[in-house]
């Protein structure tokens, strides 16, 4: 699903979040970092530019290839690995820091993902995440879209639960000594609601898939519903679109 469309265009919009995550985790030279569900390497590239030694892992081979080309072009020595966030192929306590920006939140078994991220980070060190909140624009868009597609498989919680403070604390219970949480926003900008919709429809894997898979009339309804949401959230008036999309920035320390 994530290889559909043109993910690098989406990554560009999300780059400020990667910057915020790298800063919040205080990633610096000499550290060994794992970025989980790294996509095309937003966090990985910024962390490597800080001088960290970076491993970037993702489930989608096509995105890994794009990420590998991106890091090579930037002259950065990043190790790329194909890996499910629920089964990280790394030894216990290998990394100084483990991050995931809008990535691990999409794996179907959140408790397994939480265990894995804490397993591979050293005791006392940092696990950082950026997760869309269910109340923010992106979370609301997921909720609207989900009305039109097949329901989630039984037992799989909505990805947006990772954006709820109490859920993160519960999932990290027993793993983290401290959990710092902060809601922030990243801007989505376009010339019009239709232009913003087209941007996602052409570039974001899940949106591209929805357009391919849904019957035409169902997709048209979903689009109208989505456009109404964009208009509701737009803070730029009639002339263009600016939406501050909310996410939860998570910085936790593994128990010693
Ligand atoms: C929205 S993209 C985010 C990519 C990147 N972290 C960024 O900030 O641009 C979601 C990513 O999660 C990856 N992903 C989804 N489920 C995964 C899983 N179970 N294990 C590893 N990666 C996964 C997808 O392949 C995709 O690269």
Q: Which CATH number fits domain 7-134+152-187+244-254: 3.50.50.60, 3.40.50.300, 3.40.50.150, 3.30.70.370?
A: 3.40.50.150
CA 43 to centroid of ligand 1, rounded, Å: 12
Residue 51: predicted pLDDT = 97
Outline which parts of the chain fall under CATH 3.40.50.150: 7-134+152-187+244-254
For 88-99, how does the pLDDT look when each residue is reduced to its tens digit (9 = 90+)? Answer: 999 999 999 999
Indicate whether residue 252 lines ligand 1 (CB < 6 A): no
Q: Model-level pTM?
A: 0.97
Indicate whether residue 39 lines ligand 1 (CB < 6 A): yes
CB 254 within 8 A of CB 182: no
152 pLDDT higher than 90:
no
Residue 239: predicted pLDDT = 84
169 pLDDT higher than 90:
yes
- For the chain, how many residues are written? 256
Residue of 37, 131, 132, 250 best suited for mutating to test ligand 1, as the one with most atoms within 8 Å of CB: 37
For 41-88, how does the pLDDT look when each residue is reduced to its tens digit (9 = 90+)? Answer: 999 999 999 999 999 999 999 999 999 999 999 999 999 999 999 999
Indicate whether residue 85 lines ligand 1 (CB < 6 A): yes
CA 135 to centroid of ligand 1, rounded, Å: 21
């Amino acid at each position: 699903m994530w290889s559909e469309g043109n993910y690098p265009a989406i990554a560009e919009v999300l780059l400020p979040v990667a910057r915020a995550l790298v800063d919040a985790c205080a990633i610096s030279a000499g550290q060994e970092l794992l970025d989980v569900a790294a996509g095309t390497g937003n966090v990985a590239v910024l962390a490597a530019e800080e001088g960290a030694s970076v491993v970037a892992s993702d489930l989608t081979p096509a995105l890994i290839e794009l990420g590998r080309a991106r890091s090579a072009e930037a002259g950065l020595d990043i190790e790329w690995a194909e890996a499910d966030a629920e089964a990280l192929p790394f030894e216990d306590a290998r990394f100084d820091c483990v991050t995931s920006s809008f990535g691990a939140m999409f794996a179907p078994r959140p408790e397994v993902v939480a265990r894995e991220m804490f397993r591979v980070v050293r005791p006392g060190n940092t696990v950082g995440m950026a997760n869309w909140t269910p109340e923010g624009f992106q979370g609301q868009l997921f909720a609207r879209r989900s009305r039109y597609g097949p329901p989630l498989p039984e037992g799989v919680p909505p990805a947006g639960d990772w954006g709820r403070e109490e859920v993160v604390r519960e999932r990290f219970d027993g793993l983290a000594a401290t959990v710092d949480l902060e809601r922030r926003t990243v801007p989505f900008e376009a010339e019009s609601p239709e232009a913003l919709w087209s941007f996602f429809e052409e570039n974001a894997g899940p949106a591209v898939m929805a357009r391919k898979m849904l019957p035409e009339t169902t997709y048209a309804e979903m689009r109208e519903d989505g456009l109404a949401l964009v208009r509701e959230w737009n803070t730029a008036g009639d002339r263009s679109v600016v939406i501050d999309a909310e996410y939860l920035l998570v910085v936790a320390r593994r128990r010693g």
